[in-house]
Amino acid sequence: MKKEILFLDANILFSAAYRENSGLLRLWKITSVNLVSSAYAVEEARRNLDISFQKERLDNLLTRLTQILPYHVDIDLPRGVEIREKDKPILLSAISGKADFLITGDVRDFGKFYGQKIGGVTILPPSEYLKKYHINKENKSN
């Protein structure tokens, strides 16, 4: 059975590393998925963490990712998709990495796309993914 690929946005990496008991850490405990991100997202998360132990926690989380995609990718956004320049590398990396889901808490820039599939990638906030996809799968296997 193919594992789903979850692309984690910078704000997910940041938030998981920021607080020791972050609820987002549940994403790292799901065995039926491959977690990926990009060098761009990692750099953004690291830049926004101030305390050394938070940066160490980020490094530890990164070791458990299946893949960190390159900083830049050579594809274009699908026609008609309008997004701020700073967010293009995130969405493009998720598409180029053939992610099933882009998990992001960035409501401002990605909220209008929540629940939509763009370039083969469904964009969701982490709470919705955990509630709708992960919990339902656990219940079905019981």
pLDDT digits (tens, 9 = 90+) for 32-52: 999 999 999 999 999 999 999
Supply the pLDDT for residue 141. Answer: 42
Rounded CA-CA distance 91/48 in Å is 20
Q: State the pLDDT confidence band at 136, using cuts at 50, 70 and 90.
A: low
Reference 14, options 123, 105, 120; nearest CA is: 105
Q: pTM of the predicted model, to two decimals?
A: 0.90
- Does residue 77 sit in helix, strand or coil? coil
% of the chain residues with pLDDT over 90: 78
Strand-strand pairing, 4-8 and 33-38: parallel
| Strand partners for 69 | 38
Residue type, 112: K
β-bridge partners, 123: 102
Domains of the chain: 4-141 (3.40.50.1010)
CA 92/CA 82 separation, integer angstroms: 12
